[in-house]
Every structure is written in structure tokens, then in C-alpha cells.
Amino acid sequence: MSRRTSADGVRIKRRTPFVIIESATVRDTRLKYADLGLLTYLLDQSEDWAVRSEQLCQGEGREGRDAIRKSLHRLASFGYYRLERRRLRDGKTAMGTAISDHPVEQWADDYVTFGKKLDIPVVQQEDGTFRVKYPDGTLGTDGFDTDEAGDEDQEQGQAAEEEPETPAAPAPEPTPAEKRPAPAKTTTAPKKTDEEKAAAAAEKAAQEKELDDAANKVATWWWAHAETHLGKYVGQKGGFIAVRKMVRRALVAGYSQQECAKALQHARRHFPAAQQWQDALGVVTNHITPQQRTGRIPYSDAATWSTSPSDDPSAPTTPTADDDADDATFGVIERP
């Protein structure tokens, strides 16, 4: 879709003629609920509508302009939205918007390529389509010509439902050139040999296996430890697998196995909720001050007598808030 648009209008890449959001988009956990709501609103606009953050933030119950712009950047980073600086065939330029009801990988890549800016330069071709103009001068696909199977059928079905005001002449048969897929973005980097590709794939597979093994090691230890200290698990089915996935995501984010193990101990749940897990990671990495379960401030000689144990070597030391009687050395317990 969307060559039938004004120079500065919205180009919408959708698989249906209605505002129907795919389940994959609705369940995209990278998006906040505000992002999903904004995307739905944008998809409901006509193709001659101009997206303006000043307009989007107006009205009761709307977020402020900064919040709107942050949502637009998040949508752009995941391939749902972008601005286009369009150079038309007549030499004129116009600023317009492109929106998709499903993530377009090419858009997400372009967002990074152009320095995480919303606006992307595109050039109109003789057939009315657009191509992205990259910093090295090469032209690449704009994402509209790389639809998944079924997109073209959806558009044909939409066109069939629209009753023309006057009889239309039959469309000419496309030439072989029009049937060919859009050319991919060309780069000056040398092509990798089969050996290099195989080595890169092997290295990636090794890294993935290392992460899987590390996550399984932590989860296995914790499951046995939790059953000993917290009792048998009676939660939802697949709790162990969920914990393993949770730990793996933390390892990918840069947390160590030791930090993951301590966070599970701090959360004190067989399968902690997402917020409990994030808070526990924050505590063990000293990003969050731990809360006392009793709500009381631990006793301190320095706070009570204005002295510290170092002032009186014979005085007994007082445990600090960091001392944890349940803190155990991380290890693996083999199940019989």
C-alpha cells in the first residue's frame, strides 16, 4: 500500500484495510501500552493526514509532547514508524510519515544507520515507489516492496471492495522488470566467503550455547535451593523453564551468574514476578537500596552513640544491612 497519497501524507504499510492489530504486534513486549495506543491511533488516520507531535499531545487524557516524541522514537526503533524526507520526481521535497501495523526490520535497521533519527531521506522513482538514499549515495528498499506473503493479496482484496465511480480500464500486465523484487541495498564492504560465514555462524552458535548452559546452571541450582528453603513448588506449569528464560535474558543484559543467583535468593520466590526480579537485580548490583522486611532501621552503634566500632577495638562489631544469613555460595546441585 500506499502510493495513493499526497506528497506530505501518511504512507501506511498494513495487511488489512481496517484498524486490526496483529496479535504479534499487540504482544510485542518491547512496546509500552502508550506506544501501542499511539500506533493504533496513527493507523486509523487517512493517507492525507500529517503527523504532528503538537497535535497528538492535544486533548483530554493525552500525554505531553515529550512523551509523544519518546513513543514515536520507540516505535521507530522497532520498525513501526518513521519520518521521510521525500525528494519527488519533479525535484520538490516534502516531509511525510510512514507507518506499519507490523514491525519492518528494514525500518529498524535504517533508524540505527541514520543515527537514531526519526527522519529518513527517500527518493521517488519513475514508477512512483520510493527508495532510501544512504549516506554513501546508494539506494535501498524502503520496506514497502518487501512485504511478507499475503500482503499483496490483502491489497487486491481491498481494491476489489472499493466500487469505482466510473468504469476503469483493465490494468496493463506488469512487465518483467516490475515483477522482479526490489534491489537490495548495495554496500562497498567485500562479500564474506563461505568459510567466513560458516565461522561466524559457528561462533554465534557457541555463544548461544554458552548462554543456554549458564542459564540452565543457575536455574537448576536455584530450583533445588528453593525447594529446600521455600518448599515444593506448586505454581503455574513450566515455572522452571520460565525461570531459566528469565535468567538467560539477564545474562544477555550483562548480569553475571553470581548476580542472578543472589537476585533469586533476594526475591525469595520460586518464580519471581518480572518486577520482583528486576528489583532484586537492582539490589544485588547496588542500584537499589534494599528495604528491610520489618520496616525498621537496623541498630547501629555509630547512629546511637556517635561512635563506631573502630573507636573502641574491644567493642563487638554490629552486623550491617549487607550481612545476610541466607547468603550462600553459588553452586550447582545435581538432582538424583
pLDDT digits (tens, 9 = 90+) for 227-273: 898 898 887 778 899 899 999 999 999 899 999 999 999 888 888 88
Split at pLDDT 50, 70, 90, the class of 44 is: confident
Q: Are the C-beta atoms of residues 9 and 47 closer than 8 Å to each other?
A: yes
Q: Are the C-beta atoms of residues 4 and 14 closer than 8 Å to each other?
A: no
Split at pLDDT 50, 70, 90, the class of 325 is: very low
User: All 3 cell numbers of residue 182?
Assistant: 526490489
Q: Quick one: pLDDT at residue 10?
A: 66
Q: Are the C-beta atoms of residues 119 and 97 closer than 8 Å to each other?
A: no
- Cα dihedral 73→75→79→80 (10° resolution): -130
Distance CA 243, CA 274 (A): 10
Distance CA 34, CA 36 (A): 5
Compute the mean pLDDT over every residue in the chain, rounded to the nearest whole number: 75
One-letter amino acid for residue 31 of the chain: L
Distance CA 144, CA 2 (A): 8
pLDDT greater than 80 at residue 223: yes
pLDDT greater than 80 at residue 24: yes
Q: Quick one: pLDDT at residue 315?
A: 47
pLDDT greater than 60 at residue 203: yes
pLDDT greater than 90 at residue 100: no
pLDDT greater than 60 at residue 89: yes
pLDDT digits (tens, 9 = 90+) for 147-190: 544 444 444 444 444 445 555 556 555 555 445 555 565 556 67
Q: Quick one: pLDDT at residue 323?
A: 45
Q: Is 27 helix (H, G, I), strand (E, B) or coil?
A: coil
User: All 3 cell numbers of residue 129?
Assistant: 515507489
Q: Are the C-beta atoms of residues 75 and 31 closer than 8 Å to each other?
A: yes
Nearest 5°: phi and psi at 277?
A: -65, -45
Q: Quick one: pLDDT at residue 95?
A: 84
CA angle 324, 328, 333 (to 5 degrees): 155
Helix (H) or strand (E) holding 151: helix 151-161
Matching residue, cell 520482583: 276
Stretch 124-129: mean pLDDT, rounded?
86
Distance CA 85, CA 96 (A): 7
Question: What is the reported pTM?
Answer: 0.40
Q: Quick one: pLDDT at residue 321?
A: 44
